[in-house]
Amino acid sequence: MLKKFTLILTVVLLSATLSKAQWTNVGIWPDTSKTWKAQCNNAIAVDGDGKIWLGKYSNVAGFTPPGATKPLSKSVYLTYVFNPDGTQASFSPIFQIMGDTMYTITQRGFRTNIDGDIVFATGWPSMYIVDRKTGLGKKRVLLPSAHGPNGPCVAGNGTIFIGTVFQGERPVEMYDQNLQLIGNAIGVAPGFSRTFEVSKDGNTIYWAGYTNGKVYVYSRADEFSSFALKDSIMIGAPVESFAWRPNTNELWMSGGSSNDKPLPGSKWTMGTWYAYDVVKKQIVDSLKMTFTDPTKPNERPRGLAFSKDGNTAYIAQFGTSNWMCQKLVKKGTDVKQIDQIPTGYELSQNYPNPFNPTTNIQFSIPEQRFVSLKVYNTLGQEVATLVNEIKNVGTYRVDFDASRLSSGVYMYILSTGKIVMSKKMLLMK
């Protein structure tokens, strides 16, 4: 038990996550039926109506289109579209766009367009704008690439950026909303890349060939200027996917998988997305994928998309052993400052204890500090982050909801960088 406790303290002291509320992984989505087992997911987006688009990487044999009496003669790649309640949209699954049946067209990436429709890149290689209400293509352009594009991204002014998967193959190009070529953003982007991102004003590109082990930051003064390499971030991380969290400055980037491990000595964790605040220039949050089969090295964090309010996240899993998607929700923790002058650092016993399923924890800090209050199970695994931010001098009460946890003993640990305090509590359901 002493060794486990020491391990927990080490984890707390090394933690770099700065989340203000807890991301809860609610598991496989839309359901746990065998239908979505072993469905490689290579693309994901949430459209303007909140529907979730998932792109299947491997093809399906014997698919019978809606209204047809017999299956297609060839295997086909499918795109599934789900409503937020988990039911399929009326036009799902999609097997062709504008007459292009997806016999050989793998989905390389989706992004939500400025009008809420979907920008859809395939290995044809083609790029489409697809109507979110009907699943029908509205515009199409054939891309000049031998091996196929990576995932596109869309700036706030409507400019669509797209590159290629293989290093040195083609420039990163810019298109307008009619899918007319504007020009090249980057001559030849480095590294084998699945996707990238662009700032809201379209003047900064975040490029991660995940073979580079970093994210290159290209920027320009305005839309009439040229892009130039200005910085590198996420050093040591083989980033495969990006997503902007709505209504924030947070650019979320994945930290790698067992197939593409973070570089030795780096602080990144496999299957974890990190939120980089582009204004503060620091990591401010994170969330984790649950590996459905840790023995399979190709299970990878291939995509991430957020609901419109930013409080629900959908993970695209890639790998033949896993499910298509996991869902996470961000639940705020009620932290209240109470009218009590602190005389020193203090961590009180939770009340009530034992509890089911809610309890509150009180702590005091006599100086402004960065405060971490986390909950761990007896295996030393973190199960909840209750506080992880700078707090002023004061006494605080935190309400903890353990409704998703199993009965048992848990440890909660307060850390400020100066002190570490802990207590046990008992959940009895």
Most confident of 55-59, 113-117, 332-336: 113-117
Tokens found for residue 178: 């009619």
Query: Shortest CA distance to 328 belongs to which of 379, 271, 270, 391?
Result: 271
| pLDDT for the residue 18 | 37
Using CA atoms, how far apart are residues 142 and 100, in angstroms rounded to an integer? 12
| pLDDT for the residue 193 | 85
Query: What DSSP string runs through 133-169?
Result: TT--EEEEEE---SS-B---EE-TTS-EEE-BSSTTS
| pLDDT for the residue 191 | 82
Query: What DSSP string runs through 88-124?
Result: BPTTPSB-EETTEE-SS--EEEEEE-TTS-EEEEETT
Would the pLDDT of 40 be above 80? no
Most confident of 5-19, 109-123, 318-332: 109-123
Nearby residues of 1 by Cβ (< 8 Å), 6 or more positions away: none
Domain 17-50+107-118+145-330 has CATH 2.120.10.30: yes
3-state secondary structure of 180: coil
Read off the pLDDT of residues 264-323 as tens digits, 9 standing for 90 and up.
Answer: 888 898 889 999 999 989 888 889 888 766 666 677 888 999 998 888 999 988 876 667
| pLDDT for the residue 69 | 92
| pLDDT for the residue 6 | 47
Q: 333-427: which CATH architecture?
A: Sandwich (2.60)
Tokens found for residue 104: 């050989």
Beta-bridge partner residues of 323: 37
CA dihedral 175→176→178→183, nearest 10 degrees, is -40
Query: Shortest CA distance to 345 belongs to which of 331, 366, 324?
Result: 366
Average pLDDT over residues 418-428: 95
Most confident of 13-27, 62-76, 325-339: 62-76
Please provide the average confidence, as pLDDT, over all residues in the chain.
86
3-state secondary structure of 272: strand
Using CA atoms, how far apart are residues 55 and 241, in angstroms rounded to an integer? 14
| pLDDT for the residue 147 | 60
Each domain of the chain, given as residue ranges in start order, spans 17-50+107-118+145-330, 333-427
Would the pLDDT of 226 be above 90? yes
Read off the pLDDT of residues 47-104 as tens digits, 9 standing for 90 and up.
Answer: 999 999 998 878 888 999 988 899 999 999 999 999 999 999 999 999 999 989 988 7
